[in-house]
Amino acid sequence: MQNVGKLVAVIGDEDTVTGFLLAGIGHRTADSCNFLTVKQDTKPEVVESTLKSFTQRDDIGIILINQHVANNMRHILKDYNQTIPTILEIPSKEHPYDPEQDFIMQRVNMFIGGGG
């Protein structure tokens, strides 16, 4: 296999995923893709299995996930300890970013002595 850079994966609402796809991060093969659009009727099991599959793929370096979607996946995120792929929580148009809910920010606070 040729040495190729890592992909950025996105899990989020339609506006977020569309924006990142328009920016050029989309990648689709016959077997997989690197994005999931989460709608109101998307089952939590689908989001969970997609997140887990993204964390197991060796071609993904960063996973971007809307924070309001990540809130429903806390049981996975709190135990996630891999460096790559890195999971970053991002805001959406409808839901502003809250650093107190972000598991990475919680870990940073713990390391700098802010509690946990």
Residue 30 forms part of a structural domain = yes
Ordered DSSP codes for 43-79: -HHHHHHHHHHHHH-TTEEEEEEEHHHHGGGHHHHTT
Its domain, for residue 60, covers 7-111
Name the band, by pLDDT with cuts 50, 70 and 90, for residue 114.
low
Residue 68 forms part of a structural domain = yes
Q: What is the pLDDT of residues 69-89, one digit of tens each?
A: 999 998 898 889 898 999 999
Task: At 13, list the tokens.
Answer: 């609402």
Alpha carbon distance, N-terminus to C-terminus of the chain: 42
Selection from 83, 74, 61 nearest residue 103 by Cα: 74
Least confident span in 7-11, 15-19, 36-40, 105-109 = 105-109
Residue 116 forms part of a structural domain = no
Q: Give the integer Cα–Cα distance in Å for 52 and 80.
A: 10
Our count of domains for the chain comes to 1
For residue 101, what is the domain's CATH number?
3.40.50.10580
Residue 84 forms part of a structural domain = yes
